[in-house]
Structure 1
């Protein structure tokens, strides 16, 4: 039995969330595999500060944060590490122990999944414990070193007074969405939102037809789109392409080096929409799943 006593896993309190966000921001570098982003914690913040803190796990050695995980639902842990410890054996062994033992309080018994960078040693070790590849996802990236095309529609940057409209477009874009104005305000109170922008695209009749939220990790680092949606009553008119161009332009103005997004490979319409806005697919990635 590997004990790895030098590495400690913990759940931060509300005041400790910023440390996890800061660590994730530091770890975002160009050319790295798709990984957990500060914007992912920022988007989860819609459920409130306490719920977000309860969903976060950190792993430390000698006080330094080595890995951050987000329980994005009861059966999915999204985890990443500092770039220099992706192949650290002690950290990987500790993560395997914590993820395979329900008593550790990270994942429950039964069918669960883990998302981790493809170059992490964790990816090599979990299959030895019965984990198998899950559904494929397609990461996409748009380089922001060149000017971004004009989206061709009116783009609105949303503040608190327009939160109800942004929330309504998001609900109309996803069949099971429960997003509300109240959740927008809860999200906007989190520290990641200082480096975020909510955008609305309007058609020629000034209907709000598509929405996107972009998250910067700081100048010179990749930014994230999460979420992006087109109102179900206004699809098929290029509004998804337009709002994705607006998202890329917003991140460029904020100093981001690139714009990233990840979507299920089975959602061929979403992949095509991102590609139409200049996002280029990267190799597919898969979660690792432990069957029930």
Structure 2
């Protein structure tokens, strides 16, 4: 870890070898009683760009030898921030985070219009608001409890491995305009530490055509798991395949020991919200990224 910080709270970028530790810490911070925040699966999905780029996009704050916050630069202008549950309302940490975020010399965010996603109830939200940060359009997190078995999806579902990775990547590209998810990037993602507790699923219709796909990420037994991403092939929409592959994803997370399945989508995407609700997910209070214009 290369550190550059103040007296008690240090900001650093992990080495490639240190990424697994950051993912493990994020997993420990996932809990049913804690707010939805950056998940090891988010780090794992970013890993498709390779370990070196993932390390360069990760920021770690440490105090007295303990990690207290982890950030992922999903884009150069967007930091997704996770905070240790016991430090969510910590004034000292919140103040240090704000100082680091607004200081261009710290290398956390670029200058200009930038965005920060932080957990609901985090003290840093209050301080950013006091500094004049605005809010963006709302997102809807949704959660499904996995204490009981998940109903059958009615879809033929296969677990993706190296031999059928091209099917998975093809469905992704057919589900999201502009997707750059290639076979090479699937293999990079699958080589990352978080993928050891993850699965990619592909759903096929009655004719055997791949119609939907999803990746699920476990944070370990008894913790919330994540769906990221889920997509339906553009040629097969309107047939209930989104609901079906979401049910399959929830069932897989339950098999992996997850206590619940979590997903987050922009609130304006009413179709996605309806799909997740149809699969037994309950909407949680909306969240909003904070934005600074200059």
Q: C-alpha offsets along residues 183-228 of structure 1, whole Å, 9 cap, x if unaligned?
A: 0000000010000000001001010000000000000000000000
Q: C-alpha offsets along residues 6-57 of structure 1, whole Å, 9 cap, x if unaligned?
A: 0000001101101111110110000321100000000000000000000000
Displacement after TM superposition at 1:151 (Å): 0.3
The answer to whether the aligner puts 1:14 opposite 2:39 as a matched pair is no
The answer to whether the aligner puts 1:28 opposite 2:30 as a matched pair is yes
Q: How does 1:88-127 map to 2 (within 5 A)?
A: 88-127=90-129
Q: How does 1:178-197 map to 2 (within 5 A)?
A: 178-197=180-199
Q: How does 1:35-74 map to 2 (within 5 A)?
A: 35-74=37-76
Task: Answer whether contact 1:169 1:210 (CA < 8 A) is retained.
Answer: yes
Q: How does 1:101-180 map to 2 (within 5 A)?
A: 101-180=103-182
Gaps of 5+ in 2: none
Q: Distance in 2 between matches of 1:48 and 1:84?
A: 31
Q: Distance in 2 between matches of 1:244 and 1:31?
A: 23
Partner of 2:276: 274
Q: C-alpha offsets along residues 70-123 of structure 1, whole Å, 9 cap, x if unaligned?
A: 000110000111111111111111100011111110001100000000111001
Q: Distance in 2 between matches of 1:110 and 1:128?
A: 18
Partner of 2:254: 252
TM-score normalised according to structure 1 size: 0.98
Q: How does 1:70-85 map to 2 (within 5 A)?
A: 70-85=72-87
Displacement after TM superposition at 1:4 (Å): 5.1
The answer to whether the aligner puts 1:223 opposite 2:225 as a matched pair is yes
SS of 1:103 mapped into structure 2: helix
SS of 2:169 mapped into structure 1: helix
Q: Distance in 1 between matches of 2:65 and 2:149?
A: 42
Q: Distance in 1 between matches of 2:50 and 2:6?
A: 33
Q: Distance in 1 between matches of 2:169 and 2:120?
A: 33
Displacement after TM superposition at 1:128 (Å): 1.4
SS of 2:18 mapped into structure 1: helix
Q: C-alpha offsets along residues 148-175 of structure 1, whole Å, 9 cap, x if unaligned?
A: 0100010000101101110000000001
Task: Answer whether contact 1:4 1:93 (CA < 8 A) is retained.
Answer: no
Displacement after TM superposition at 1:136 (Å): 0.3
Task: Answer whether contact 1:214 1:226 (CA < 8 A) is retained.
Answer: yes
Q: CA RMSD in A?
A: 0.9
After TM superposition, the runs of 4+ consecutive aligned structure 1 residues lying more than 6 A away are none
Q: Distance in 1 between matches of 2:265 and 2:77?
A: 18
Task: Answer whether contact 1:133 1:286 (CA < 8 A) is retained.
Answer: yes
